[in-house]
Amino acid sequence: MIAGIETGGTKVICAVADRQDPGTILADTRIETTSPEETLAAIRDFLADHADDGRFDAVGIASFGPVDVDVESPRFGWITSTPKPGWRSTDLLENLHLASGTPVRLVSDVTGAALGEHRSGAGRGVSDLAYVTVGTGVGAGLVVDGGPLSWRSHPELGHILVRRHPRDRFAGNCPFHGDCLEGLVSGPAIEARWGKPGTDLGPRQQESVVLSGYYIAQLLATITYATAPQRIIAGGGVMKTPGLLDVVREQLARLVGTALAEHPLTNPAGDYVVRPELGDESGVRGALSLASDAMDAEARP
């Protein structure tokens, strides 16, 4: 039996699958992300109920962060400088109480979603892709030649500085930078800007969509210029806002202009920027694929 765990800023999804059929989820659960003590205890309870003789063949983890993913680091498996209250310097891996010797692979939650969509979702058929999430936080995960960009670290593109919209006077709410991308377009930032959740803006929703699309397009342009993925998948709760994806595509084409002549992004109706196909399962399916990969690696001489 293998296990996949996706920890996010608002929820955790855990799933188990047979080692011979990692694509079929046999059992799963959703756990609210509250305190480390409460959330990790609930994860342990789920794992204990599905382990074979107290252990798994392998475990894959896709965690919110920043998280230390370097197996050579003394703090491998630690959530580090997160703004999530109570979670800074939490030893995630140690607190799962896995059986000694269990193969583990760990990536960021957005990288996990990228892997899940690459293996069995909207990224099928391409070698390189980016997964962008805009929700409680903002992040990006990169798959290159079918695997994570790096096993030593992970991108933190939610904190890039962006060109301000000329009509935007909101100071931003990132605790580190104020008006970085995350401080302008995350779910909490939208609520702080308008004084109410993004799902309840009424006649101001279109104005919010225009501002968010303007900023998110800058992130996608940065990713395109820097890493040249074949596809970008845009997920997260904020990206479900009606009309937002269309505005992002249009703004991206306008922003890049002729700098990348004939690039797929110049066609807003094309398939360069797409929605995820796996919905809320992207991350946990990526985590299961990591567990399967770890098990295969252990089996090789």
Q: Which long-range contacts (CB under 8 A, 24 or more apart) does 187-193 make?
A: 187/135, 187/136, 187/237, 187/238, 188/136, 190/238
* Reported confidence tier of residue 299, pLDDT bands at 50, 70, 90: low
Q: Express each pLDDT in 256-296 by its tens digit.
A: 999 999 999 999 999 999 999 999 899 999 999 999 999 87
Distance (Å, whole) CA 79 – CA 65: 6
Q: Note the CATH number of domain 122-274.
A: 3.30.420.40
The mean per-residue pLDDT over the stretch 173-189 comes to: 96
- The per-residue pLDDT for 186 is 97
Q: Express each pLDDT in 78-104 by its tens digit.
A: 999 888 889 999 999 999 999 999 999
Q: pTM score > 0.85 for this model?
A: yes
Q: Note the CATH number of domain 2-108.
A: 3.30.420.40
The mean per-residue pLDDT over the stretch 138-167 comes to: 93
Q: Which amino acid is at 31?
A: I
- The dihedral through the CA atoms of 124, 260, 186, 80 has a sign that is positive
Topology match between the domains 2-108 and 122-274: yes
Task: Count the Cβ atoms, other than its own, within 10 Å of residue 69.
Answer: 23
Distance (Å, whole) CA 227 – CA 131: 12
Residue 37 in this model has a pLDDT that exceeds 70? yes
- The per-residue pLDDT for 70 is 95
* Reported confidence tier of residue 298, pLDDT bands at 50, 70, 90: low
N residues, the chain = 301
The mean per-residue pLDDT over the stretch 39-53 comes to: 97
- The per-residue pLDDT for 291 is 96
Q: Express each pLDDT in 209-225 by its tens digit.
A: 999 999 999 999 999 99
Place of tokens 């809320």: 280
Domain ranges of the chain: 2-108, 122-274
Instruction: Choose the weakest-confidence range: 65-74, 146-155, 232-241, 254-263.
Output: 146-155
Distance (Å, whole) CA 140 – CA 134: 9
- The per-residue pLDDT for 82 is 85
Place of tokens 């770890």: 294
Secondary element (H or E) of residue 273: strand 273-274
